[in-house]
Amino acid sequence: MNEIIKRIENIVGCENVKVDRDEIEKYAKDETSSVKESLPLAVVFPTNTEQVSEIMKLANQYSIPVTPRGAGTGLSGGAIPKENGIVLSLEKMNHIVELDLENMAVVVEPGVITDEIQKLAEENGFFYAGDPASSESSSIGGNLAENAGGVKVLKYGPTGFHVLGIEVVLATGEIVNFGGKMMKNVMGYDMVRLFVGSEGTLGIVTKIILRLIPKPKYSAVLLTPFKDMQTAVACVPKVLCESGILPTSIELMDRYSVEISSKFLNETIPQQGADCHLIFEIDSLDRESLTRAYISLGEKLQQMGALEVYIADNRHQKMKIWKFRKAIAEGIIAFRPKHCMEDVSVPIKTIPTLIKASYEIAKKNGVEVLNFGHVGDGNVHVTFLKPDGMSDEDWEKSMHRSLTELYQVTVDLDGTMTGEHGVGLKRKDFLPIFMNKSEIELMKKIKKAFDPNNILNPGKIFPD
């Protein structure tokens, strides 16, 4: 392997290859707390597509496992490497290649932080609508690999909705391009969509063409507490069908997630003891239509059982509401580091059934649980928490039982195991609950067609 490392150093330079343990330890994990870390043999930092191509040719020749990695903010173990392989970190491929306002597009390398794209678009009067909660730290390549969602999916869709074209290095080192700056393209199979969400198992994306849209000038946020979960969630499809308003976001926080967020912020939220809080955001190109919309929406929500409707239409007030939602994950990490955050997605009307079942599953298995997420599109982050005093061994057993039962409920509700975080290492053993053998084998055949030697992010998605 030392000879291989030297050849890689000849490709990217000695300064872009790390093998010392203290330098590569952080690349043995991502943000998934429930997956075991794994130390790679080396971490390699290419700076252009040609270097990625040469590395993949070498890796393919010697069957060396390669794990592509962005910013390491994933929540599925997708960036955790094989012990006998290398991490291909794309963090130095972080340039915005082109801003093409006439075609409402931007061309970027995979290591660009998502927030930088959003800011660049905004500075030029446009809007990049991909908006995962980790946008200030996650890279666009990672967003594409997982088809990241976020709070604006209801109106603007996940990352994949905004990807027009990609440049990809295949496992063999071949460089291919799919899509482009055109809006419509039905020439052959939709290869762009195949790579979006493929978790780095089919190829390494080295350039991305993203769609920009005109920036909405005005927005408002409505905070609506409800006395019970059923009433809260039942109003969501009614609002979508009857109000004539398509919100940017509809977010849910149960009482327990509000408690941990409030503890983290050392602040309280209006109607702190309510069983559920919903957050609605709406946007518009003019203030008058926005005002009419949030007044109409507020009245409709009160008719449907909201205890109160708090409206924020200036930046300070909006941030004050949103910070409670965004602090939930930080509160979990701070106060309950041993946890398992799930990502199930179900039809909207079945969310109360799912959440009720999660409480029952947690109680049955001696763990705790809280729920929050993107109720407008049915994506709920059911998060199991390790109780104080429980041993790690008992936690692992209880966790496995809880996940198995949660996933079975999700299947029964016509849902899916993951809506935006991906399968990765964390969920792969549960895939047969959701897909039959023929479906899994078909996906394996696609993987083999692109990666015959199984070197690209091996061990992910499919059960062993």
| pLDDT at site 238 | 86
Percent of the chain with pLDDT over 90: 94
With bands split at pLDDT 50, 70 and 90, how would you rate the model's confidence at 390?
Answer: very high
Contact 392, 414 (CB under 8 A): no
**Measured distance between the N- and C-terminal CA atoms of the chain, rounded to whole angstroms:** 26
| pLDDT at site 94 | 98
Cβ neighbour number for residue 50 with a 10 Å cutoff: 14
Nearest one of 234, 237, 256, 197 to 381, comparing CA atoms: 256
Contact 137, 71 (CB under 8 A): yes
| pLDDT at site 133 | 85
In the block, residue with structure tokens 């692109």: 450
In whole angstroms, give the CA distance from residue 119 to residue 121. Answer: 5
In the block, residue with structure tokens 């071949």: 174
Whether the predicted pLDDT of 240 surpasses 90: no
Cα-Cα-Cα-Cα dihedral sign, residues 134, 138, 140, 144: negative
Cα-Cα-Cα-Cα dihedral sign, residues 139, 326, 236, 405: positive
- Fold annotation for 218-335: Alpha-Beta Plaits (3.30.70)
| pLDDT at site 174 | 98
| pLDDT at site 336 | 95
pLDDT tens digits, residue range 328-353? 999 999 999 999 999 999 999 899 99
Whether the predicted pLDDT of 249 surpasses 90: yes
- Fold annotation for 339-426: Alpha-Beta Plaits (3.30.70)
Element (H, E) at 222: strand 218-226
pLDDT tens digits, residue range 122-153? 999 999 999 898 899 999 999 999 999 989 99
* E strand residue ranges, 227-352: 249-254, 276-284, 310-312, 339-341, 344-345
Contact 404, 344 (CB under 8 A): no
Mean pLDDT of the chain: 96
Whether the predicted pLDDT of 411 surpasses 90: yes
41: Cα separation from own chain's centroid: 27
Whether the predicted pLDDT of 225 surpasses 90: yes
| C-alpha separations of 3 from 9, 89, 461 in Å | 10, 20, 31
In whole angstroms, give the CA distance from residue 302 to residue 260. Answer: 27
- Fold annotation for 96-214: 3.30.465
Written as six digits, the tokens of 216 are 């909405």
| pLDDT at site 446 | 98
* 2-89 is classed CATH 3.30.43.10: yes
- Reduced to 3 states (helix: H, G, I; strand: E, B; else coil), residue 233 is helix
| pLDDT at site 365 | 98
Query: 36 versus 257: which is more confidently predicted?
Result: 257
Nearest one of 216, 203, 85, 86 to 144, comparing CA atoms: 203
Q: What is the 3-state secondary structure (H, E, C) of 361-427?
A: HHHHCCCEEEEEEEHHHCEEEEEEECCCCCCHHHHHHHHHHHHHHHHHHHHHCCCECECCCCCCCCC
Nearest one of 47, 143, 43 to 94, comparing CA atoms: 47
pLDDT tens digits, residue range 6-55? 999 999 999 999 999 999 999 999 999 888 899 999 999 999 999 999 99
- Give exposure, 379-393, as e/b (b: 16+ Cβ within 10 Å): bbbbbbbbeeeeeee
With bands split at pLDDT 50, 70 and 90, how would you rate the model's confidence at 243?
Answer: confident
Domains 218-335 and 339-426 fall in the same CATH topology: yes
Contact 57, 108 (CB under 8 A): no
Written as six digits, the tokens of 352 are 């109360």
Contact 274, 286 (CB under 8 A): no
171 burial level (CB within 10 Å; 0-12, 13-18, 19+): buried
**Domain ranges for the chain:** 2-89, 96-214, 218-335, 339-426
- The string of DSSP letters for 157-214 reads --GGGGEEEEEEE-TTS-EEEEE-S-S---SSS-HHHHHTTSTTSS-EEEEEEEE-EE
Nearest one of 357, 339, 328 to 257, comparing CA atoms: 328
Query: Phi and psi of 16, rounded to 5°?
Result: -105, 20
| pLDDT at site 270 | 95
Whether the predicted pLDDT of 1 surpasses 90: no
Rg of the chain taking only CA atoms, in angstroms: 23
Element (H, E) at 320: helix 315-335
| pLDDT at site 421 | 96
Range 436-459 average pLDDT: 98
Nearest one of 105, 98, 161, 176 to 129, comparing CA atoms: 161
| pLDDT at site 84 | 87
Amino acid type, 462 = F
User: Do the strands 249-254 and 310-312 form a parallel or antiparallel pair, or are they unpaired?
Assistant: unpaired
Contact 343, 75 (CB under 8 A): yes
Q: Could you tell me how many helices (H) and strands (E) the chain has, helices first?
A: 15, 19
Cα-Cα-Cα-Cα dihedral sign, residues 159, 423, 80, 169: negative
| pLDDT at site 98 | 98
| pLDDT at site 244 | 86
pLDDT tens digits, residue range 59-102? 999 999 999 999 999 999 999 998 889 999 999 999 999 999 99
> Residue 282 pairs with which residues in a beta bridge?
220
